[in-house]
Amino acid sequence: MEVVENTFEVERVKKSKVTETDFGNLQFGRVFSDHMFIAEYADGKWGKAKIQPYQNLSISPASCVFHYGQAIFEGLKAYRSTKGEIVLFRPDQNHLRLNKSALRMCMPEVPKHFFIEGLKQLIDIDRNWIPEGDDLSLYIRPFLIADEAFLGVKPSSRYKFMIITSPTSTYYTGAVKVKVENHYSRACQGGIGAAKAAANYAASIFPATQAQKQGYHQLIWTDANEHKYIEECGTMNIMFVINGNLITPSIERDTILPGITRASILQLAKKWNMNIEERRISVDEVLAAIKNNSLEEAFGVGTAATIAPFSNIGIGENDYELSDFNTWKFSNKAKDYLDQVKRGTQEDEFNWTIKF
Ligand SMILES: *Cc1c(COP(=O)(O)O)cnc(C)c1O
Looking at residue 26, which CATH number applies to its domain? 3.30.470.10
Do 306 and 183 fall into the same domain? Answer: yes
Do 151 and 290 fall into the same domain? Answer: no
CA distance 251 to 67: 30
Ligand 1 pocket test, candidate residues 77, 140, 236, most atoms within 8 A of CB: 236
Task: Name the residue range of residue 15's domain.
Answer: 9-169
Question: How far is ligand 1, taken at its centre, from the CA of residue 260, in Å?
Answer: 7
Q: For residue 263, is it within any domain?
A: yes
Do 259 and 112 fall into the same domain? Answer: no
Do 233 and 318 fall into the same domain? Answer: yes
Q: For residue 268, is it within any domain?
A: yes
Question: How far is ligand 1, taken at its centre, from the CA of residue 218, in Å?
Answer: 14
Given 169, 198, 233, the domain boundary residue is 169
Q: For residue 320, is it within any domain?
A: yes
- CA 283 to each of CA 84, 280, 291, 293, 354: distance values in angstroms, whole numbers, following the listed order: 45, 10, 12, 15, 39
Asked whether 75 lines ligand 1 (CB < 6 A), one says yes
Contact 35, 118 (CB under 8 A): no
- For strand 275-278 and strand 245-248, is the pairing parallel, antiparallel, or unpaired? parallel
- For strand 45-53 and strand 9-10, is the pairing parallel, antiparallel, or unpaired? parallel
Identify any residues that bridge with 107 across adjacent strands, giving them in sequence order. none
pLDDT band at 17 (very low <50, low <70, confident <90, very high): very high
Q: How confident is the model at residue 124, as a pLDDT? A: 96
Q: For residue 118, is it within any domain?
A: yes
CA distance 35 to 332: 35
Q: Is the dihedral of CA 217, 222, 224, 228 positive or negative?
A: negative
CA distance 325 to 265: 17
Q: Which helix (H) or strand (E) holds 131?
A: none
Lowest mean pLDDT across 5-19, 99-113, 238-252, 309-323: 5-19
Q: For residue 290, is it within any domain?
A: yes
CA distance 193 to 187: 5
Query: Tens digit of pLDDT for each residue in 198-256?
Result: 999 999 999 999 999 999 999 999 999 999 999 999 999 999 999 999 999 999 989 99
Do 22 and 39 fall into the same domain? Answer: yes
Task: Give the angle subtended at the CA of 240 by the CAs of 237 and 246, to the nearest 5°.
Answer: 105
Question: How far is ligand 1, taken at its centre, from the CA of residue 161, in Å?
Answer: 20
pLDDT band at 2 (very low <50, low <70, confident <90, very high): low
Which percentage of the chain shows pLDDT scores above 70? 97
Question: What's the one-letter identity of residue 128?
Answer: N
Q: For residue 249, is it within any domain?
A: yes
Do 161 and 268 fall into the same domain? Answer: no
**DSSP reduced 3-state for 336:** helix
Q: How confident is the model at residue 27, as a pLDDT? A: 85
CA distance 313 to 88: 33
Given 120, 154, 169, the domain boundary residue is 169
Identify any residues that bridge with 27 across adjacent strands, giving them in sequence order. none
- In 185-276, which ranges are continuous DSSP H helix? 198-213, 260-271
Do 211 and 159 fall into the same domain? Answer: no
pTM: 0.96
Do 136 and 181 fall into the same domain? Answer: no
Do 208 and 233 fall into the same domain? Answer: yes
Reference 345, options 84, 3, 123, 24; nearest CA is 84
Q: Which helix (H) or strand (E) holds 78?
A: strand 76-80
Do 68 and 195 fall into the same domain? Answer: no
Do 203 and 154 fall into the same domain? Answer: no
Do 165 and 296 fall into the same domain? Answer: no
pLDDT band at 32 (very low <50, low <70, confident <90, very high): very high
Given 152, 169, 186, the domain boundary residue is 169
Ligand 1 pocket test, candidate residues 90, 235, 266, 338, most atoms within 8 A of CB: 235
How many separate domains does the chain show? Answer: 2
Query: Tens digit of pLDDT for each residue in 39-94?
Result: 999 999 999 899 999 999 999 999 999 999 999 999 999 999 999 999 999 999 99
pLDDT band at 4 (very low <50, low <70, confident <90, very high): low
Query: Tens digit of pLDDT for each residue in 157-214?
Result: 999 999 999 999 876 678 899 999 999 999 999 999 999 999 999 999 999 999 999 9
The more confident residue out of 7 and 320 is 320
Q: How confident is the model at residue 5, as a pLDDT? A: 62
Looking at residue 307, which CATH number applies to its domain? 3.20.10.10
Query: Tens digit of pLDDT for each residue in 285-310?
Result: 999 999 999 999 999 999 988 999 99
Contact 311, 334 (CB under 8 A): no
Q: For residue 2, is it within any domain?
A: no
Q: For residue 202, is it within any domain?
A: yes
